Amino acid sequence: MPGNKGVKYEGPGKVEVHEIDYPEFTLQDGPGVNPGNVGRKLPHAAILKSVATNICGSDQHMVRGRTTAPPGLVLGHEITGEVVETGPDVEFIKNGDLVSVPFNIACGRCRNCKEGKTGICENVNPDRPGSAYGYVDMGGWVGGQAQYVLVPYADWNLLKFPDKDRAMEKILDLAMLSDIFPTGFHGCVTAGVGPGSTVYVAGAGPVGLAAATSAFLLGAAVVIVADLNEQRLAQARSFGCETVDVTKGDPRDQIEQILGVPEVDCGVDAVGFEARGHGREAESERPATVLNTLMDVTRAGGALGIPGLYVTGDPGAADEAARQGSLSIRIGLGWAKSHSLATGQCPVMRYNRQLMQAILHDRVQIAKAVNATPIPLEEAPRGYHEFDEGAARKYVLDPNGMLPKAA
């Protein structure tokens, strides 16, 4: 049995790479593991050798101490890997398959899974519907920022790449299928993006850039990306986006300069609960700012896609209401404008196969759009630090030295 190393959250602002247990076909107790999941038998699982595993903005919320994540939690929910072992109940996935792992953990058996709502599976998290690898309050499934990781319900969850050699040629693009590409795409689909749309994307981090890429893929005429980080705005402009610098004031005014009118057809929130204000308030946290701005700038009858993360508990929030996930949202404005809002985890399996085909057939270059940057697993602490400082990059960890020769 080979050794295993993984990235652990050790407390606010601190991650470290440690020796961790090699995966077993029984869920063991450990930091963050739900007591109801301890000892769970997993004959339907597969063990993967990680080829690529990404650092996500959602991970950063935990690392900043903005959740109740316990020290010792192995991080990582964006996983691409090679199957090295399967349980006795796995029928179709085979050793040697190169696969993408949806960040949602889903059983494929419950009502929600059968309806395609894999982000809110009823059988993998004893506390509430919905689960993910290496994430707080998500059932305690061990994270994938590691050399080896276990994936339950393998026949259901894993997306096999049809040609392994061809896939390795585009592995940095395909590594985005586990989360941010489908998540950005979902934000655009639920916002109603289509041919000729004008789209406002709040946030120029990796999910925002993935949403902007998705908007173009869906036929948008103009994609406007807003942020307060000039490096990230420059990255958005590099593939044809218009940009809004929210430090310069009300986005409505800048949207009007671009479009001639101060509103768009579709709005996407790719920021979430750690949002900052606009103009003079850009340095202070205003968690409801993005949602209220989207309602303000999206036309009457339009829709808002909200893939940005909001939580039920935020220990670092500025006030007691926000600590409970309660924000001062102008729901009256949204009601008056007949807005539709879609929230929650992206159901990755709804989109990942189609987006895989778009990558393999050169219809999109998502790795270039998000500036995917491979680094060794041992450099994960540096990646987390630089990402937290606002680097305009999507850091891709290379746990087993398989990316340099492929990228």
Q: Has residue 403 been placed in a domain?
A: no
Q: Has residue 406 been placed in a domain?
A: no
On whether both 385 and 284 belong to a single domain, the answer is: no
The token duo for 273 is: 């609960």
The CATH number linked to 197 is 3.40.50.720
In this structure, are residues 86 and 92 in contact, taking their beta carbons and an 8 Å threshold?
Answer: no
pTM attached to this predicted model: 0.96
Q: Has residue 329 been placed in a domain?
A: yes
On whether both 171 and 205 belong to a single domain, the answer is: no
Dihedral, CA atoms, 406, 50, 124, 66, nearest 10 degrees?
Answer: -90
Find the length of the chain: 407
The DSSP-derived string for 328-345 is: ---HHHHHHTT-EEEES-
On whether both 137 and 18 belong to a single domain, the answer is: yes
Domain of residue 283: give its range: 180-343
On whether both 160 and 266 belong to a single domain, the answer is: no
On whether both 140 and 191 belong to a single domain, the answer is: no
Q: Has residue 146 been placed in a domain?
A: yes
**Chain center to CA of 217:** 19
Digitized pLDDT (tens) for each residue of the chain, 407 residues in all: 789 999 999 999 999 999 999 999 999 999 999 999 999 999 999 999 999 999 999 999 999 999 989 999 999 999 999 999 999 999 999 999 999 999 999 999 999 999 999 999 999 999 999 999 999 999 999 999 999 999 999 999 999 999 999 999 999 999 999 999 999 999 999 999 999 999 999 999 999 999 999 999 999 999 999 999 999 999 999 999 999 999 998 999 999 999 999 999 999 999 988 888 787 777 777 888 999 999 999 999 999 999 998 888 888 877 888 888 888 899 999 999 999 999 999 999 999 999 999 999 999 999 999 999 999 999 999 999 999 999 999 999 999 999 964 44
On whether both 394 and 288 belong to a single domain, the answer is: no
Task: Give the chain's domain count.
Answer: 2
100 bridge partner residues: 80, 159
On whether both 191 and 113 belong to a single domain, the answer is: no
**323, 343, 363 — which closes off a domain?**
343
On whether both 259 and 170 belong to a single domain, the answer is: no
The CATH number linked to 131 is 3.90.180.10
